[in-house]
Amino acid sequence: MLIVQKYGGTSVANTERIKAVAERVARTAKEGNKVAVVVSAMAGETDKLIGLARKLSSDPNEREMDMLLSSGERVTSALTAIAIEELGHKAMALTGRQMGIITDTVHTKAKIEKISADRAKKALDEGYVVVVAGFQGITEDGSDVTTLGRGGSDLSAVAIASALDADLCEIYTDVDGVYTTDPNIVPDARKLEKISYEEMLELASLGAKVLQTRSVEFAMKYGTPLIVRSSFNDNPGTLVTKEDKDMEKVVVSGVAYDKNQAKITVMGLPDKPGIAARLFKAIADAGIVVDMIVQNVSSDGKATDISFTVPKTDSKKAVKLTEEIAGELGASGVNLGEAIAKISIVGVGMRTHSGVAAQMFETLAKHGINIMMISTSEIKVSCIIDLKYTELAVRVLHDVFKSAEVK
C-alpha cells in the first residue's frame, strides 16, 4: 500500500516525539508499505514566528511572512528524515517546492493548483520514505514560497495523498480521532468510529480544528480515504468517509465552537434596495469572508439594522470599511463586538428530524445564555453567544444531544 501519514505540531513537538514518529513510520515501511510523511512545525513554532514578526511590524509584508512561517516545517521535515535514517531506513526530506506543490500567489492563504509529484514518486520507488514539509508551496513560476493558511499541513497531506494516488491518508494528532465535541472541553465527548465528509466539513468550518476545513473539502471532492488518529497510541481512530444510511440515525453528531469571529452591527441603515449589496460588496472586495448575516425588519419602514460576523483577524479592516459606507449611506452608527463565540450543532440526521433547533434554543435558554444571531443549513444550526458562555454552552448542548439517536 501507499500510505500518507501527517503528523501535527504536538506529534513533532520535540526530539522525543520525533523519534516516536520515526518509529511509527519505519514500522509502517517495514510492513511493506510505501510511506510519504507530511509534518507540521513543532507545536507553538508558527505562533512564535508570527509573534516575532509582530514585534517588528504591526502589518508585516505577507510574502515575507510566508518566507518566515515556512521555515518551521522545513526544520521538522529534515529532523524527521534524520530520525528515520537513524532507524536504518532510507528517508528524504522535501520542501513544498521539491514536492512540486504549485499554488496561486495569494500569500498566507494560497490555494494549491497542482502537484508535480514526479520526484517524490521516484524516491518512493527507490525505497525512500519521503518527508514533506507541510503547509507550504511555491508559485507557478517558482519565484515565491507560499503558505496554505493556518492548519494547512492537513491540506498538504490530503493533496499529496491524492497526487500520489495513495491508498490511505492518516492524520496523526494529539487526540484519538474526531469526537462528538472537543474532548479537551467536554471530558465525556465520544469518539466517532466514522463521520461523513459533509458533517466533518461543517464541524471543521464551524471551528473543530482537528481537521482544517479545506483539507476536508479536498478529501470530499477526490474521495480520499481519511483516518484521524493519535500519534501517542495505537487506538483505531475515526474514518472520514462517504455518508451511509446508519449516519442518519444520529440527529446531532457533533457540537463545535469558534472563538475567532467578531460581530459588526450597522444601525439605522435606510431600508431600501441595494443597501446590503453595497456594504457586502465592499467587504468582499477587501477579501474578507463574511459568515453570518442578520438583517432586522424595520419597525417604521425607514431604518433597519444589519449585523454580520467576520474572522477576528479581519475585524479592524471590516469595521473601517463599514464605517466608510455607513457614513455614505447615512446610517446612525457601527459597533464591533469581539467577545462572542459561535456554537454549532451538526448532523446529517437533521435533514429528516424536526425540532432540533428548538431544542438547542431551549437548552441555551435554560442556562441563561442569550442568543445574538442564528443561522441554519440543512445539517447544522449555529448561534452567536457571549464568549464567556462558550464552554458552558458546548457542555450543555453535548449533554442534551449525546444520546439523541433516533430508532
Residue 193 burial (CB count, 10 A): 12
SS3 content of the chain, % helix, strand, coil (to 5): 40, 25, 35
Residue 206 or 264: the one with the smaller Cβ distance to Mg ion is 206
46 binds, among ligand ASP, ligand ADP, Mg ion, none (CB under 5 to 8 A by kind): ligand ASP
Position closest to Mg ion via CB:
151
Closest approach of Cβ 5 to ligand ADP, in Å? 12
Secondary structure (DSSP) of 205-234:
HTT-TTS-HHHHHHHHHHT--EEEEESSS-
- Please, where are the H alpha helices in 229-383? 275-285, 315-329, 356-366
150 binds, among ligand ASP, Mg ion, ligand ADP, none (CB under 5 to 8 A by kind): ligand ASP
**Number of shown-chain residues binding Mg ion (CB under 5 A):** 2
Q: At what angle do helices 62-86 and 45-56 cross, to 10 degrees?
A: 150
Closest approach of Cβ 41 to ligand ASP, in Å? 4
Position closest to ligand ADP via CB:
8
Residue 162 or 212: the one with the smaller Cβ distance to Mg ion is 212
Closest approach of Cβ 46 to ligand ASP, in Å? 4
Residue 11 or 95: the one with the smaller Cβ distance to ligand ADP is 11
Closest approach of Cβ 311 to Mg ion, in Å? 17
384 binds, among Mg ion, ligand ADP, ligand ASP, none (CB under 5 to 8 A by kind): none
Binding footprint of ligand ADP on the chain (CB under 6 A)? 8-11, 40, 151, 173-175, 178-179, 181-184, 203, 208-210, 254
User: Which residue has 452608527 as its cell numbers?
Assistant: 333
Cell numbers describing residue 312:
477576528
User: Which residue has 497510541 as its cell numbers?
Assistant: 233
Closest approach of Cβ 183 to ligand ADP, in Å? 6
Closest approach of Cβ 20 to ligand ADP, in Å? 14
Residue 182 or 291: the one with the smaller Cβ distance to ligand ADP is 182
Residue 210 or 279: the one with the smaller Cβ distance to ligand ADP is 210
Residue 211 or 251: the one with the smaller Cβ distance to ligand ASP is 211
Closest approach of Cβ 325 to ligand ADP, in Å? 36
Closest approach of Cβ 154 to ligand ASP, in Å? 6
Residue 105 or 377: the one with the smaller Cβ distance to ligand ADP is 377
208 binds, among Mg ion, ligand ASP, ligand ADP, none (CB under 5 to 8 A by kind): ligand ADP
Q: At what angle do helices 15-30 and 62-86 cross, to 10 degrees?
A: 60
CA-derived radius of gyration, the chain: 23
Site for Mg ion contains 349 (CB under 5 A): no
Binding footprint of ligand ASP on the chain (CB under 6 A)? 8-9, 40-41, 46, 72, 134-135, 150-154
Residue 216 or 252: the one with the smaller Cβ distance to Mg ion is 216
152 binds, among ligand ASP, Mg ion, ligand ADP, none (CB under 5 to 8 A by kind): ligand ASP
Q: At what angle do helices 153-163 and 213-222 cross, to 10 degrees?
A: 20
Distance linking the first and last C-alpha atoms of the chain: 39
Q: Hey, CA dihedral for 332, 369, 296, 322, is it positive or negative? A: positive
Closest approach of Cβ 212 to ligand ASP, in Å? 7
- As a residue count, the chain comes to 407
Residue 164 or 204: the one with the smaller Cβ distance to ligand ADP is 204
Closest approach of Cβ 172 to ligand ADP, in Å? 7
Alpha carbons 327 and 311: distance in angstroms, whole number = 23
Max intra-chain CA distance, the chain? 77
Site for Mg ion contains 177 (CB under 5 A): no
Beta-strand pair 129-133/91-94: parallel
Residue 335 burial (CB count, 10 A): 12
For residues 141 to 160, the per-residue mask of contacts with Mg ion, x marking binding by CB under 5 A and - elsewhere, is: ----------x---------
Residue 361 burial (CB count, 10 A): 14
Contacts of 78 (CB under 8 A, 6+ apart): 93, 131
Q: Which class for 51: exposed (0-12), middle (13-18), buried (19 or more C-beta within 10 A)?
A: exposed
Q: Is 267 helix (H, G, I), strand (E, B) or coil?
A: strand
Give contact residues for Mg ion (rule: CB under 5 A): 8, 151
